[in-house]
Structure 1
Amino acid sequence: MTPSRGLTALHLRQGHPDFLDLPWHLPLEEWNQKVCSRLVEVPRGLSRHTVVFVSYGADIYALKELPVSVGQREYDVLRGLEDRRLPAVTAVGLTRVRATDRSGEEQAILITQYLPSSLPYRVLFMNRGLERYRERLLDAMASLLVRLHLGGFFWGDCSLSNVLFRRDAGELQAYAVDAETSELHTKLSDGQRELDLLIMEENVTGGLADLAAMVELPSTLDVYATAPSIRQRYERLWTETHKEISISPSESYRIHERIRALNELGFSVGEVDLVASGDGSQLRMRTIVTDREYHRHQLHNLTGVVAEERQAALLLNEIREMKATLTREVNRSVPLSVAAFRWLDERFRPTVSRLQKELGPAADEAEIYCQVLEHKWFLSERAKRDVGLEVAVKGYVALRKEQPALALLRSANAPLVTVEAEAEAEAEPAPAPHREGLR
């Protein structure tokens, strides 16, 4: 029996493997190391469908078996999310297979790219050493829903199991990983948003209740208060993005204040509407936000560095500090672009290169650099002075060498660690500076 016997169709995007060496003649539930040497284990959430993970060099892909119509729908929706630059896993391909024991019945297998350095909620909730991320997880979940709803995405099955979280400079960013019941619209109605929030509350509460029946949850985690807390955070953030304010024609500076306030939350402002009200002595200002990647865009435009939103904000702060230093040294204003070039050439690239030599290739260069900055903050707080980047790098390298390698630092050729090993490695993370989240 040849490996391609069960494969009837294969649709793939450019830039990825052809996957023809996989054992398509077997259902996913029968794949193991004997029939598929590419099979790997990664931290995963719960799924109602069979899901396996395979590696091709440094890249890992998730394969999920679905009915053909459902698989095609999810593939199309994920491509739509990518086109709209919304946070979700990337759809790579869709196959159709005919199993020999199903009388010619076809099934679809959706192929998505695994999100590097990501963790499911169960790891963040249950493992010692990750407590500081739990509160941030609720903020990340609320932010994800706001971003998706702003982009016209009706989820239809929002739950903690359908989300992956990536560490982002001491915070978390959330990504949708399941879109089987989802729809894309030009704009969501209030009724659609309300329904999505109700589904989220029911799914989150039910998921935590099921988990509590199997294991003891942390005392700080309330099964029935978590979902309402996510909704409250969502409502506050949604209100902030849609707030209208009244200004007088002479208060144009308030337009810039409003835009700056949204930018500080990470939102890019696409349009500003000014409409006269009453006798014309007042104007109603409404801002239209486009995404929550303001700092990501700015950092990439300045340096070419790809980072998460909070990583980018932290790195931009360091670039601005360099700008101030250069301005003081030459006694004249220095453009931010010049400071960005110096920062990239003198700090970011040399530091990342050194860390990779000491610790191995990093899956996320921006995150590892931000971790060094957080370690620098911690050492400086303890020393009551700025210890400098060199001391921080040495201390960070020493700290990581004392612990098992994190998934974040995993080499492309290194074996994947288990969830338990990764959690153990996180048991004593470097303290992070306090940041204000949504409250």
Structure 2
Amino acid sequence: MSGSLSITSALADSALLDLPWHLPLDAWPNESIASLPKGISRHLVRFAHLSGHVVAIKETTAEMAKREYDMLRRLQNLEIPCVEPVAFITNRSDEDLEPLNSVLVTRHLKFSLPYRALYSHTLRPDTATRLVDALAVLLVRVHMIGFFWGDVSLSNTLFRRDAGAFAAYLVDAETGQLYSGGLSNGQRENDLEIARVNIAGELMDLEAGGRVADELDPIRVSNGIVAAYRLLWKELTSSESFASTERWRIAERVDRLNDLGFDIEELSIKTDDAGTKVRIQPKVVDSGHHQRRLLRLTGLDAEENQARRLLNDLDSYRATYGEPDSDEEMVAHEWLVRVFEPVVRAIPVELRGKLERAEVFHQLLDHRWYMAQNQSRDIPLAEAVTSYVQDVLRHRRDEATVMNPPTGSITMPINVIGGATPDEDWKLKV
């Protein structure tokens, strides 16, 4: 290694020193490079192996590398879904002491997918719409903490499957800025317009390459982020007035926000002078209502929709086998030991890189429901697992390494367990 290399990192990982920083990124040897598909970037980005995991390395200026590293750390502390910053490295030089670009190093988000990898042959309209909806949720979240993104696009976002939908993660923060006093309406609208234009351009680019379905309209899909964003923003921030006899609407409002994945920190409730009208203004905290409940009850860390689905199955188990006054935590532990973990252990080792555990369980519930509908009978869990592994999971590509997963969209009713005895269902032997 040549020159006085400077590494700033939140991780004490000496393996950073073993990477060939004295070479331009495009000249790194194959043994250092991880072959993963990546999105479009204005900078050179490559994936590399580091201490048993994969990192993304982006060449940029020293100032931009430090700024983005600091910004990603701040966003992480604010619990915004984004890639994890590992290090920024400056003072690089080659063996002739010629200066090389500085780099930002981030951890590769396992099971994440750049939007261009979310199609097998053509991008379908429903998949494109779900991507845009996920990006709208992310944009609302960053705006609520006062973050102006400045370059909102599908290319600057990674997506993870989340129980039939997608969860969006911010990748590129080099143009972003945090404002302690929050964003003005003009700043939010500016970000929203940037998103609309960028998404339209990205989808038109796919269209020009013959990579979208004929019925996909890039303009309509890109306009969808505006509608989705405004609906969600209004639900989260607007006040509501109603008659004092309709107090049930307070609980209804809270339930709607919880269903969107947001918790309520406090409610401001005011009545008028006559005492006949009630006005409520919610103060919303960060999303993750179902994630936090699942984590608290079971220790499982899942995406929001996955958590909602697993909790539905847990609640069904509790209703079927729990006593009326049974402790929620004890039933959750029983469900984890007797249902979830046996399913996970039943997945052959060579197939465990296909999907995350929570996504496997969600898809298994869908598969079991389909089997029950087609055969007009209750399907024991063990039978459903065997069928799912052989007929579905074995034919998927590994998403741990992001290799062109299919884009099929499945919308299913909530799974309801019924009809099976504990011996045949909840005590699955592996």
Superposed CA RMSD: 2.5
Find 1:353's aligned residue among 334, 345, 354: 345
How far does residue 246 in structure 1 lie from its aligned partner after superposition?
Answer: 1.7
Greater CA deviation, 236-245 or 188-197?
Answer: 236-245
Residues 165 and 172 in structure 1, CA contact (< 8 A), matched pair in contact too:
yes
Matches within 5 A, 1:18-417: 18-33=15-30, 37-56=31-50, 58-100=52-94, 105=99, 107-125=101-119, 127-128=121-122, 133-186=127-180, 187-249=182-244, 251-327=246-322, 330=323, 332-357=324-349, 359-360=351-352, 364-400=356-392, 402-403=394-395, 406-408=397-399, 410=400, 416=401
Counterpart Cα distance in 2 of 1:128 and 1:211: 9
How far does residue 341 in structure 1 lie from its aligned partner after superposition?
Answer: 0.9
Residues 11 and 93 in structure 1, CA contact (< 8 A), matched pair in contact too:
yes
Residues 319 and 336 in structure 1, CA contact (< 8 A), matched pair in contact too:
no
Greater CA deviation, 67-76 or 204-213?
Answer: 204-213
Residues 159 and 204 in structure 1, CA contact (< 8 A), matched pair in contact too:
yes
Matched residue SS, 1:161: coil
* TM-score w.r.t. length of structure 2: 0.89
Residues 129 and 221 in structure 2, CA contact (< 8 A), matched pair in contact too:
no
Counterpart Cα distance in 2 of 1:51 and 1:379: 44
Opposite residue 145 of structure 2, the aligned amino acid is G
Counterpart Cα distance in 1 of 2:356 and 2:120: 24
Residues 2 and 97 in structure 2, CA contact (< 8 A), matched pair in contact too:
no
Counterpart Cα distance in 1 of 2:163 and 2:4: 43
Change (3 A) 1:7 1:140: farther
Matched residue SS, 1:26: coil
Residues 83 and 169 in structure 2, CA contact (< 8 A), matched pair in contact too:
yes
Matched residue SS, 1:407: coil
Match of 2:412 in 1: 434
Which string of whole-angstrom CA distances, capped at 9 and with x for unpartnered residues, describes residues 358-391 of structure 1? 6245662211221211211221221223312111
Counterpart Cα distance in 2 of 1:7 and 1:266: 48
Residues 95 and 110 in structure 1, CA contact (< 8 A), matched pair in contact too:
yes
Residues 295 and 309 in structure 1, CA contact (< 8 A), matched pair in contact too:
yes
Residues 377 and 433 in structure 1, CA contact (< 8 A), matched pair in contact too:
no
How many residues were matched structurally?
413
Match of 1:413 in 2: none
Q: Which runs of 4+ in 1 moved over 6 A?
A: none
Matched residue SS, 1:178: coil
How far does residue 108 in structure 1 lie from its aligned partner after superposition?
Answer: 2.2
* TM-score w.r.t. length of structure 1: 0.87
Counterpart Cα distance in 1 of 2:186 and 2:96: 41
Unaligned runs of 5+ in 2: 415-430
Counterpart Cα distance in 1 of 2:143 and 2:86: 24
Matched residue SS, 2:291: helix
Q: Percent identity?
A: 37
How far does residue 338 in structure 1 lie from its aligned partner after superposition?
Answer: 2.1
Which string of whole-angstrom CA distances, capped at 9 and with x for unpartnered residues, describes residues 1-31 of structure 1? xxx2155200112365631111100111211
Counterpart Cα distance in 2 of 1:56 and 1:101: 23
